[in-house]
Amino acid sequence: MRAYVFSDAALAKQAGRFVWLSIDSEKAQNAAFLARFPTEVSPTLLVIEPTAERAVLKWGSSATVPQLEKLLEDGERAARATDGAAQSGDEVLARADRLRADTGSRAAAAAAAAYQEALAAGGPAWPRHARAVEALVMALDAAGDPVSCTRAARQHAPELARGPSFANVVATGLSCALSEPAGPPRIEDVRALEPLAREALALPDVLADDRSSLYQMLIDARTDAADAAAAKTLAADWLRFLEAQAARAPSAEARTAFDAHLVEAALKLGEPARALPALEASERDFPNDYNPPARKALVYRALHRPADALAACQRALARVEGPRRLRVLWQLADLQREQGDRQAARQSVDDAIRYAAALPAGQRDATGTKNALARLHRLRDQL
């Protein structure tokens, strides 16, 4: 969003409506903020009412400029709202947004119920209908209820106007469907949502990174159906799409936004070397960023070039701080293990575990850190 949405001159007229804050969740100085306002995904957009210091809107997705303009209006409304009785769709939506901004899966479930109420209060012609459906599906996903999330997506997506909200509902719904327990209902849900995701892929006003995520979901869906040929065809289309997007990016920063998906698409296609030119350019343009060498390490590993993988991983390690350092240390340890250097691997894992213990509370207690630590301990057990 930073490269393609927040830089859009059309948003300049919104500048006086809010005080604008950007929080890099990797920086230690932001740990206290994140402890107070936890987020589950990146990016997350928050509106905070400053007097009570309460988050009143939380949006765990990217947004186009028109979507963002609606969110700003909704954020102002939620900041003014109270927790008392609400009647109209807009009022109930404001209450739901305030609930969603609270922490935890229980709050997300309560918010989902309120979004259902808002949809009922607003009716099908309500201008916020699509926005509320998006919020409903994302809240059910955050509540850890993939079956209800899928059901809501299947119920509402067909009726939505074809645009970014439709694409987000379908992508989130398909992601939820793929998280359901294996069995016939999951197969049926995935089959029902796949054609809608293909439809969303062709829409002109969907953000490039959202379109890229749709490719990712569709490949996962075909892989889930054991349809390797279709998954590979999609991976080829995905990679071509990303290469074209990167080629016409307006700046180096905008171009690097495609690197992560470019690597994943190249790996899924079985042509990892195709990601290397972009990563070389990113490492040259941003020599202090750990991401390009960390990604190069993945690619070199897939290309069976262990020395290059190890060197790239070491370069990444020299540039990374915060929770992400745990992942790079894990990557390094895994490469060292593969190359038979168990002692070095053990050292890297121990370094990571010590580093995690020294992180500030807001970062140490984050779900991502806990997951990384669990993975490190599993690797430690293998060494």
Partner 1 sequence: MVALLGCRDRPPRPVAAALPFIEDDYARALAQARARKLPLFVDVWAPW
Residues 331-370 that bind partner 1 (CB under 8 A): 331, 334
Q: Which stretch binds partner 1 (CB under 8 A): 50-58, 165-173, 227-235, 237-245?
A: 50-58
CB of 74 to partner 1, least distance (A): 11
Please report how close the Cβ of residue 188 comes to partner 1 at its closest, in angstroms: 26
User: Could you give the CA distance from residue 150 to residue 217 in angstroms, rounded to a whole number?
Assistant: 14
- Residue 295 touching partner 1 (CB under 8 A): yes
Residues between 242 and 271 with contacts to partner 1, criterion CB under 8 A: 251, 253, 256-261, 263-264, 267
Neighbours of 208 (CB within 10 A): 19
Q: How many residues bind partner 1 (CB under 8 A)?
A: 75
Choose the binding region for partner 1 from 2-10, 117-125, 145-153, 190-198 (rule: CB under 8 A): 2-10
Of 151, 324, 325, 337, the one binding partner 1 by CB under 8 A: 324
Q: Residue 123 CB, nearest distance to partner 1 (Å)?
A: 28
Determine if 44 is a binding residue for partner 1 (CB under 8 A).
yes
97-102: which pairs have CB atoms within 8 A and are 24 or more residues apart? 97/56, 97/57, 97/58, 97/135, 98/54, 98/56, 98/57, 100/57, 100/58, 100/135, 100/139, 100/142, 101/46, 101/47, 101/54, 101/55, 101/56, 101/57, 101/58, 102/55
Please name the residues in contact with 41: beta carbons below 8 A apart, sequence gap of 6 or more.
60, 61
Measured from the CB atom, the residue of 26 and 180 that comes closer to partner 1 is: 26
| Ramachandran category for residue 342: left, alpha or beta (phi over 0 → left; psi -120 to 50 → alpha) | alpha
- Residue 59's H or E segment, with its range, is strand 54-59
What residues between 164 and 223 interact with partner 1 by CB under 8 A?
A: 209, 213
* Per-residue contact flags (x/-) with partner 1 for residues 63 to 82, judged by CB under 8 A: ---------x--xx--x---
